[in-house]
Amino acid sequence: MNNPIKIGTRNSPLALWQANFIAQKLEQNGLKTELVPITSTGDKILHKSLAKIGSKGVFTQDLEAMLDKGEIHIAVHSAKDIPTQTNQYQIIAFTHREMVQDVILSHDPNALQRESVKIGTSATRRIGFVKHYFPNARQVEVRGNLQTRLKKLEDQHCDALILAFAGVKRIEKESFIIKHLPIDTFVPPAGQGSIGIQAHIHLPSELTMAIRSHINDPISETCITLERALLSELGGGCSIPIFAHAMVLNERQQIKFTAGIISLDGQEMIKNEVQGPLSATHQILHQMVEELEQNGVLQLLTKVKNQL
């Protein structure tokens, strides 16, 4: 391909970091690239929570429209932002996953010792976990890209922030981390830590395979595909407090899959763990869905949706 691969991206610093990372990977392998940055709908509407504006595709729909029109060849997203119902789009690659845990940032190393510490987050999963594991904390609504949220921390809108470690590392703000949250309690959402490459289903197969061969990490793809399949089975999206994390236990080539849902007030949590061979993800998914349903996940899911 003589013409550059046009890479669509949000224009936030983190999104641009991710797009440049992909561009560098492709250019190192002899492919020309061109970034096409935009401001997404999700970046424009900051006065409402994702749950209120309808989060399915709020960070991806504008780039998907550009894929439809042929204005870009691929779109680069945080994998956790890509809707599970992709219609005429396909995810052609997932990058090697960064550490997946959430972290707490603050300018005060002792912020969590404060009475009624104000913790900033707008993600429903994190809100539920904060209320469950930090019952004395006050949750403060904080929307926007990482720079916007960090500015609110600096302006003392909150005492601390919960963010994904991967994003914090990528924009070099690790010095503000005061706590790494363990993934067995603050279980991540589907896809956290990886970058997903989205394309139209009509992208030429030779270009698809070239991009995939230079970007895709098979283990990350297997784990994230399993997590996203659970979201699809349960009908969840970014505004639903579902958590799902799969990891490979290398010494046994086993997958450990942890998933569930937490109520918005943090009082109810349904959580399950399934392990099985790396080659048996369909069976692992079926077992997880079956056991979660036996434990009442659909009833809690309906309750949560009615509250949003």
**Catalytic annotation, residues:** 81
Angle at 31 between CA 30 and CA 34, to 5 degrees: 140
How many residues in the chain?
Answer: 308
Neighbouring residues of 251: CB distance < 8 A, sequence distance ≥ 6: none
Residue 172 and residue 166: Cα distance in Å, rounded?
A: 10
157 φ, ψ (degrees, to nearest 5): -65, -25
Neighbouring residues of 81: CB distance < 8 A, sequence distance ≥ 6: 59, 60, 191, 238
Starting at the earlier edge strand, list the strands of the sheet with 74-78: 33-38, 5-10, 74-78, 195-200, 89-94
* Exposure string over 238-250, b if 16+ CB within 10 A, otherwise e: bbbbbbbbbeeee
Neighbouring residues of 303: CB distance < 8 A, sequence distance ≥ 6: 263
Q: Around Cβ 27, how many Cβ atoms within 10 Å?
A: 14
